[in-house]
Amino acid sequence: MKNTILLKTLMPALLAAVICTYIVIQYNRFMTTPLSIAEPVAFVVEPGSNLKRVSQQLYEQNITPITPIHLRIYGRVNDLASKIKAGEYELSPSDTLPEVMNKLVSGKVIMNSLTIVEGMTAQSLIDVVAAHPKIKHTIEKAELSEVMKALGKPDVVGEGWFLPETYHFPTGTTDIEFLKRAYEQMQTVLKQAWEYRAKDLPYESPYEVLIMASIIEKETAVADERPEIAGVFVRRLEKGMRLQTDPTVIYGIRKNFDGNLRKKDLRTDTPYNTYTRSGLPPTPICLPSRESINAALHPAKGNSLYFVATGIDGRHIFSSNLADHNKAVRKYQLNKQ
C-alpha cells in the first residue's frame, strides 16, 4: 500500500523528468544535427513564403532529417519567424538548422554574375540576358526596341547605352532590372567623364562621345592605343576628313555581313558608311568601355591621320601622311595577302 502511494506520488515527477529529458535530447539534436546533404545545395525561398512553408520544404526536399515542427518552434521562440527573406541561399552539409535559420534571416543570398563584354552590341547583350537561367524574363520580345520601351525610353536608340562591366545580382532579378542598372551606369559614367573632358574637342554632346567611343572600341583592343586611335579620328573631324573606319561600315550592313568586307561594301552608302558620309555615324555601333570613353575625351596629341593593323598583337602603325600610310598598307596588309 505504501509502495503504491509512493509510486503515485513520484509519478508526476518521473513523467516530468522523462519529458524534460526528451525535450533536452530533441533540443540538442535540433541544435547539433547537420543537414542530410552530401554537398552544398541552393535553396530558394520564394517571395511570400512563411516559416511553415520553408520548414516543410527543407524536410520534403530531404535537406534535413528533422521534422518541420522543430524549426517552426525555434523560429517563433526566437522571434525569427517573420524575418525570413526571399532569395536563393547556399546551404552546406555542415550547417545545422539554427545556422540555416540565421542564413534565411540575414538575407545573404547567392549572388550571380554576368559580364557585359565591351564591344558587343546592345542586341547581343539582350540575347545573353534572355538566356541567363538566373534572370527572370519579363520581356515578351527580346529586342532592343522593346527593352527601351520597358525602360520608359521608347524614343531612345539603345545601342551603346549599357555599360560593359561585371554585374552581380540575386536570383530572380528581372531582365528589365538588370538592363536598367547597366543603362543607368552608362549614363553616370558618361556624364562624369564629359565633365572632365579635354578642351576644344569637336563634340557637340556627350552622345557624340558615346558614338566615338564605340568606334574606338571596335578599332582596337590594345589599351594604350585607344588615345592614339581617338587622336586620329578627332583630327580627321577637325579637318573635315571622313573617318573611313571599317567597323561602322560593317555595322551598317551587319545583317548581310559574312565576315569578309569587300570594296563594294565600302562604296555602298548607308547611314553608317563613313567612307561615303562625313562626320560621325548616327548612333554608336557597340557598347563602349570606360576606357574608350575616356580615350574619346582625352585623345593623344600628335599629327597622325591614318593607321593600319600590323597583324601583330592587335597593334597598328600610325602615319601622318597618305604616302607613309600606303607604304604601311603594302608592308602589313597587301604583302600578307
Tens of pLDDT along the chain (337 residues)? Answer: 555 665 566 566 656 555 556 555 555 666 678 888 899 999 999 888 899 999 899 999 999 887 888 888 888 888 988 899 999 999 999 998 889 989 999 989 999 999 999 999 999 999 999 999 999 999 988 899 999 999 999 999 999 999 999 999 999 899 999 999 999 999 999 999 999 999 999 999 999 999 999 999 999 989 999 999 999 999 999 999 999 999 999 999 988 787 788 888 889 899 999 999 999 999 999 999 999 999 999 999 999 999 998 888 889 998 999 999 999 888 887 665 4
Say whether both 167 and 274 belong to one domain: yes
Residue 315 lies in a domain: no
Give this prediction's pTM. Answer: 0.84
Say whether both 171 and 263 belong to one domain: yes
DSSP for 174-190, please give it.
Answer: BHHHHHHHHHHHHHHHH
Which residue in the block uniquely carries the three cell numbers 577637325?
238
Say whether both 38 and 117 belong to one domain: no
DSSP for 281-305, please give it.
Answer: -SS-SS---HHHHHHHHSPPPS---
The per-residue pLDDT for 263 is 87
* CA nearest to 233, candidates 250, 248, 253: 248
Q: What letter does residue 42 receive in the DSSP assignment?
A: E
The per-residue pLDDT for 243 is 97
Say whether both 89 and 166 belong to one domain: no
Element (H, E) at 113: strand 111-115
Domain that holds residue 293: 111-302
Residue 192 lies in a domain: yes
Say whether both 77 and 206 belong to one domain: no
The per-residue pLDDT for 88 is 93
Distance from C-alpha of 232 to C-alpha of 199, rounded to nearest angstrom:
16
Residue 316 lies in a domain: no
End of a domain among 82, 106, 130?
106
Distance from C-alpha of 219 to C-alpha of 315, rounded to nearest angstrom:
10
Residue 312 lies in a domain: no
Residue 20 lies in a domain: no
Say whether both 122 and 91 belong to one domain: no
Q: How many CA atoms lie within 13 A of 163 on its CB side?
A: 19
The per-residue pLDDT for 64 is 86
Residue 17 lies in a domain: no
The per-residue pLDDT for 314 is 85
Q: Are 27 and 98 in contact (CB under 8 A)?
A: no
Say whether both 101 and 116 belong to one domain: no
Say whether both 89 and 144 belong to one domain: no
The per-residue pLDDT for 295 is 97
Residue 334 lies in a domain: no
Say whether both 147 and 276 belong to one domain: yes
Give the number of domains in the chain: 2
* CA nearest to 212, candidates 243, 182, 239, 249: 243
The per-residue pLDDT for 14 is 58
Residue 18 lies in a domain: no
The per-residue pLDDT for 35 is 86
Say whether both 94 and 148 belong to one domain: no
Phi and psi at 254, nearest 5°, equal -55, -35
Distance from C-alpha of 198 to C-alpha of 301, rounded to nearest angstrom:
11
Say whether both 223 and 126 belong to one domain: yes
Q: Is 298 exposed, middle or buried (0-12, 13-18, 19+ CB in 10 A)?
A: middle
SS3 256: coil
The per-residue pLDDT for 214 is 98
End of a domain among 106, 123, 155?
106
CB atoms within 10 A of CB 85: 15
The per-residue pLDDT for 282 is 97
